[in-house]
Amino acid sequence: MIAKTAAGGGPTLLPEVLAFSSSLEQDRALLFEDLLGSLAHLAMLGRRRIIPLEAAAALHRELVGLWQAARAGSWSPQAEEDVHMAVEAELTRRLGTDAGHLHTARSRNDQVALDLRLHVREQVVQALLALARLVEALAARAEADAEVLLPGYTHRQRAQPISAGYWWCAAGAMFSRDLDAFRFVHRQLDASPLGVGALAGTSLATDREIPRTLLGFSRLTLNGLDTVGDRDFALDFTYAVARTCLHAGRLATDLVDFSSSEFGFLHLGDAIACGSSLMPQKRNPDVFELVRGKSGPAAGNLLALLTVLKGLPLGYNRDLQEDRGPLLGSGPLLRGVLGALDVALPHVVFDPAATVRALEQDHTQATDLAEALVRAGTPFRTAYQLVGTLVRRAQELGQPLGRVPPEVARAVDPRLEPALRLARDVQASVRSKESAGGTGPRSVEHQVAVLRAAAVEGRALAGSIPRLEQLFDVLREVTW
């Protein structure tokens, strides 16, 4: 074993201390990032002639071999303090003392800072691609359901008529903001930390630009003391994941409610409707309930990371090792949520007859009635009071607003009778709302176009970010 003390010439750690302090099991997820960082650092050492070229060539050969063996499943890191020391231990087993050249002018502090940035960058690519696919799917559903009428809700009370296309666009708008959030994450992490060492740089003639270029970062981190303790990019990532999962949960809640017999607005296909072990009639929306439930651990990961970072001094502190659980768990959690939506949403179908029935049996056109009076010259507050009186009268009669007899409207105020005709056509109510961001058809068409543009932009950014395999293809052919 090459625990930190042994690598420095000191005594071996107590087994209990090593077991308690080891992060290897979690670090296994960072193996390929660590190998890439070592290849890029080695290229710099060789090009700057800081280590013998023969040693550099041997290390390069073995690092490439470790990558290929790990990909093939024929090698994995053995028991060590962390993945960095596990790789060094394996190189030492293969090359002897020449393996010690690799750690020249670097520290595990800048190694892990690099590994985590590479990991998060890879996760960002996958998040962008999954979100772009979801936003495009929501835009397509908005077009397909453009003519389906639906009650819009505030306070979970029927409020105004909307189209189901508009409702799908609302979900798409949430996830398009998540695309923005992951773009921000990428901007924040797009700086190479490699070469700052433990905290203060090195007296050797290194060049941080070489690994920066090879690893595809746009800039260098500014200050080594800050760099090794910086996990802001990890916070940004876990926040973006948590927020996306919260948004997924909000969409899931509507789907759960709308598929219930109390609403009856949509049907779940057999492929996603789960049954009951006791009640044979049940068709449960388990997939959407689980999507909603995942927002809990996603928010927990963010809170855990915030708590780890709270009150730490500048520089590296071993507390930072506790970033692994919440950070490494967030990517798979997000992919699970977005993957579930991807496969489940095509099996969700609105029932237009049921949704129209809900509108026609209620008073959701009241605002349209008030606005009709406004167009005729009535002050809005007066119109609001008149329509409110009419709605109460309709409720007393047990009738929806669209079926109130003209004489009832006339008895409240003669101005209401001609306006009442608008309340009989919920389709006209939806079509009339062409203000920016409204539920009118032209407005929804514009929203669909914006969502599709956001998806294209997200996919383009994902395509511009170097992937781990692409970096390996470059680094395996590096020359001195």
Compute φ and ψ for 363, nearest 5 degrees.
Answer: -125, 30
The backbone region for 78, taken as left when phi is positive above 0, alpha when psi lies in -120 to 50, beta otherwise, is beta
Catalytic residue status for 192: no
- Cα dihedral 124, 125, 126, 127 sign: positive
Q: CA–CA separation, 164 vs 161, rounded Å?
A: 10
For 21-123, strand residue ranges (E) read none
| Rounded-to-integer distance, Cα 6 and Cα 397, Å | 87
**Rg of the chain on CA atoms, in Å:** 30
Closest CA to 216 of 479, 468, 478: 468
Cβ 376 vs Cβ 420: under 8 Å: no
Which among 193, 164, 301, 192 is positioned nearest to 246, based on CA atoms? 301
What's the one-letter identity of residue 318? R
Question: CA-CA distances (angstroms) from residue 67 to 64, 98, 99, 120?
Answer: 5, 19, 16, 19
Nearest to 385 by CA among 396, 369, 403, 404: 369
Catalytic choice (155, 203, 277, 435): 155
Please give the C-alpha separations between residue 200 and each of 109, 217, 302, 315, 371, in angstroms, as whole numbers: 11, 21, 29, 10, 67
In this structure, the number of other CB atoms found within 10 A of the CB of residue 470 comes to: 11
Characterize the bridge pairing of strands 191-192 and 219-220. parallel
**Chain centroid offset of residue 229 CA:** 24
* Helix, strand counts (H, E) of the chain: 22, 6
C-beta separation of 88 from 102 below 8 A: yes
3-state secondary structure of 362: coil
Catalytic residue (choose from 76, 260, 276, 464): 276
Range 202-236 burial, b when 16+ CB lie within 10 A, else e = beeebebebbbbbbbbeebbeebeebbbbbebbbb
CA–CA separation, 88 vs 104, rounded Å? 12
Q: Which two tokens stand for residue 166?
A: 């508009």
103 is catalytic: no
Residues catalogued as catalytic: 155, 276
